[in-house]
Amino acid sequence: MIAVTMRLARRVQPLGCVLALRFLVLLPWDVPAAWALDNGLAATPTMGWLHWERFMCNTNCKEEPDSCISEDLFMQMADLMDSEGWKEVGYEYLCIDDCWMARQRDSKGRLQADPTRFPSGIQYLANYVHSKGLKLGIYADVGKKTCAGYPGSFGYYDIDAEIFADWGVDLLKFDGCYCDSVEQLANGYKHMSLALNKTGRSIVYSCEWPLYMWPFHKPNYTEIRQYCNHWRNTGDIYDSWQSIKSILNWVSYNQKTIVTVAGPGGWNDPDMLVIGNFGLSWDQQITQMALWAIMAAPLLMSNDLRHISTQAKALLQNKDVIAINQDPLGKQGYLLRKENNIEVWERPLSNLAWAVAVVNMQEIGGPRSFTINIASLGQGVACNPACHITELLPMKTKLGFYEWTSCLKTRINPSGTVLLRLESQST
């Protein structure tokens, strides 16, 4: 999470058919990704569930026992991730965010869980989560306090890393509130990375380092990747279309800086999936799922798995879309072209395949038709000399065989997306 409490200021036709080719960027895919954190983790983007957007910092278990931050909530989510098919499609990490701690450390300077809401302790919860074939994530802060005012890790990095390992934690989300300087922030993120590795336990390290650096200067992503498995660049996501749009706009504006640094072991994190909540239309939920797959983003749901619709569950568990997100080539996609409120995003995949998302950003009127020159996709090689195209979203449909000189006509709902997979003729 991000809070304003940080002490630093923050913040099918012939080629000539319809559109001129207006490319926004041509990214150098032959340039190898920067050296990654050497902990052997996050070879593909992390998948799981995180409590923050849906449940925030609700500690009122007396009046709201079903939605307060407690061991009961996480055990119930673990049960559902195990029994409702989430684990089988890749959602593996059950992650606690802020507000799990007691207000004070114990007599030995160690973090401790709130004794009322987590009476059995974090180690017990980790064992329970592990018994379901899942992994447990936890939250801490690089500064003197967490964003919600609980004890921070400043001055306790080694102690906290050791206790997380002792408890059996598998992922640490490390926030950046209450630091006195950017130097303290950077040094704290580095220190905790080294401390986690020193424990000998495999712990995915999720950072918010660049988010807190941007108000002061452009982050050094090569350095960040050496210490973190994924990193947040933008503020907290909300359950709204405006929030989704603002994240996509930020990513596309900064893609020349952030796209090529992503890859196995280190990923840009545009924040949680809010599919299955209240603020997005069905088409907007499709857009989030499709674009998070294109961006090779961690897929960390924040919703109530006890009360999720069948439709939202099917979207989140769509194996074809997850396969794009988890593609082993590990290349992040990018915005290729934008024209008349239509955006075309693409991502290179393994075995010479490509994923293409066509997004209708117009929010007035009805569905719009859009025609794509096949030769413009995949840097001109996706369908050279030909390819098979399958529409994955909104509904899986085999569109057929397309030659390099042909065009593809699509129809996209307002704020919706058509997600395509292109496979070369030889695959």
Q: Is the dihedral of CA 321, 322, 323, 327 positive or negative?
A: positive
Contact 166, 126 (CB under 8 A): no
Closest CA to 172 of 182, 180, 181, 162: 162
Closest CA to 91 of 251, 240, 276: 276
Strand residue runs (E) in 59-192: 93-95, 135-141, 171-175
Closest CA to 238 of 212, 273, 268, 203: 273
The Cα 335–Cα 344 span in angstroms is: 6
Active-site option among 79, 82, 166, 236: 236
DSSP annotation of 107: T
Backbone angles phi, psi at 301, to 5 degrees: -70, 145
Environment class of 16 (CB within 10 Å of its CB; exposed 0-12, middle 13-18, buried 19+):
exposed
- At position 363, the amino acid (one-letter code) is E
The Cα 422–Cα 427 span in angstroms is: 10
Q: Is the peptide bond before 215 cis (omega within 30 degrees of 0)?
A: no
Active-site option among 98, 175, 239, 269: 175
* 175 catalytically annotated: yes
* 269 catalytically annotated: no
Contact 51, 301 (CB under 8 A): no
**Beta-strand pair 386-393/135-141:** unpaired
**Residue whose entry in the numeric block shows the structure tokens 């030659």:** 403
The Cα 227–Cα 393 span in angstroms is: 35
For residue 45, give Cα distances in angstroms to 123, 266, 312.
25, 8, 21
**Residue whose entry in the numeric block shows the structure tokens 């709130």:** 114
Q: Which residues are catalytic?
A: 175, 236
